[in-house]
Structure 1
Amino acid sequence: MKSHFALPLIFILGFGFYFAYAHKTITVEQYDIEVGWKEEPPLVGIQNAITFEFSQDEGNGVTTPVTNSFRDLEATVKSGSLTKTLEVLSDAKPGNYYTKIIPTKTGSLIIELKGTLNGVPVNQEIQIEDVESTDVLAFPLSGSSSGQDVSALKNAMSSLQRDVTEIKSKIGNVAGGDDIDLSKAYDFGVFGLALGTAGVILAVFAMVKRK
């Protein structure tokens, strides 16, 4: 019976290690503060949350959750030179907190904690997991179909340009005569090309609407 439970246990522990790995833990005197994303990997444009877990080391491997952690503590998120003060909410689980956020660009974010925690000064910066593009999970990639559409439009425009060149060449080679009105012939040619261009434009609108 032991062998039947050994593999699932290792499997579960392995996943637990994976998810904890992306979170960062700092220690401020007797307090441990763990910070990370609720959903990993964090994706640009997708609502997520930054989570905080506060615990106090009681010794002998015993820890207790810290309530009211943000009473005198402020959390700020930094992206380059831009900063934003976070509205931190209490989670149902004691010692756990979160703040909702929609990352708008890929790259790293830094969480800054300033203030006091039960009288202990806190002035820490924690770099959390980088925000990634939705391409890491997207399938099929939207760029594949759009690339084909752009290629088709380029081919259509090239064909129209060849038609214009051909019409000009034919008109130039025709000798003027009483029974030939070159201006009308050219007008008809341009009219035909205009219809073709209108068709291409309608195709563009159709593709945009489809997406």
Structure 2
Amino acid sequence: MSSAYGHTTIYLEQYEIEAGWGDEPPVVNLPNKIVIEVAESGEKEGLRIGVNSAFKSMTATLMAGGATKELDINSDPRPGHYYAKIFPTKTGSMSVKLVGELNGLPVDVVIPIEDVESQSIIAFPPVSGSSSAGEIGAVKNALSSLQKDVSNIKSNVGDVSLTAGGVDIQNAYNFAVFGLSLGAAGVILAIIAMLRRK
């Protein structure tokens, strides 16, 4: 197996199969395509001949973690060149699995391809503090929501005497505010964790 320009080549008897991305580096949330080249060794050393109809009895599946997607393979005008449009939605490693037959030769291989990168790899000028700005906005929204809830509780409790039927309304109010605060803190932490994952 060899790798160049982010493409990986495998050898199956007289065939060379190369797989990779159409646009490199592959970037999350940008349209791209998986390109596959299938060639057969020619009569002269170093000569390769593109194989037509290579996917007549063979399928290609894109794998990312536990997720899989069977690719809709299209023929390129050049002999032996194939592609499948894809829109990568997560960063990380991916592989192409080929299964079937190539001119009578059984095929069952997994070809690793270049990792999908975040958009920061091509962003210019770099955006500094963008994730912290999002985190600050999320915290502001959560605090604003908490303040509205506290105001609603105050307005509803304001007309009630401090002790009604043996229940201390002030303690109930304090407990409600404490509960809302814990809930808001949980929401804020969840939002921050989600933003950091991206």
Q: How many residues align?
A: 137
After superposition, the Cα gap between the structure-2 partners of 1:145 and 1:26, relative to the gap in structure 1 and judged at 3 Å, is closer
Q: Structure 1, residues 124-183: CA drift from partner, whole Å, max 9, x if none?
A: 0011000000001112344536746838x97xx8xxx9xxxxxxxxxxxxxxxxxxxxxx
What is the alpha-carbon distance in structure 1 between the residues aligned to residue 71 and residue 101 of structure 2?
A: 16
Aligned position for 2:27: 43
Q: What's the CA shift for 1:71?
A: 0.2
TM-score, with structure 2 as normaliser: 0.63
- Secondary structure, aligned partner of 2:42: strand
Q: What's the CA shift for 1:87?
A: 0.3
What does residue range 79-118 of structure 1 map to in structure 2 within 5 Å?
Answer: 79-118=64-103
After superposition, the Cα gap between the structure-2 partners of 1:120 and 1:41, relative to the gap in structure 1 and judged at 3 Å, is same
What is the alpha-carbon distance in structure 1 between the residues aligned to residue 16 and residue 130 of structure 2?
A: 48
Unmatched runs of 5 consecutive residues or more in structure 2:
148-198
Q: Does 1:27 align with 2:29?
A: no
Unmatched runs of 5 consecutive residues or more in structure 1:
1-18, 162-211
TM-score, with structure 1 as normaliser: 0.59
- Corresponding letter in the other structure for 2:50: P
Aligned position for 2:48: 63
Aligned position for 2:121: 136
Which has more strand, going by share of residues?
Answer: 2
- Corresponding letter in the other structure for 2:118: S
What is the alpha-carbon distance in structure 1 between the residues aligned to residue 130 and residue 108 of structure 2?
A: 49
- Secondary structure, aligned partner of 2:48: strand
For the aligned residue pairs, the C-alpha RMSD in angstroms reads 2.4
What does residue range 112-127 of structure 1 map to in structure 2 within 5 Å?
Answer: 112-127=97-112
Percent of residue pairs identical: 45
- Bigger Rg, which one: 1
- Corresponding letter in the other structure for 2:93: S
Which has more helix, going by share of residues?
Answer: 1
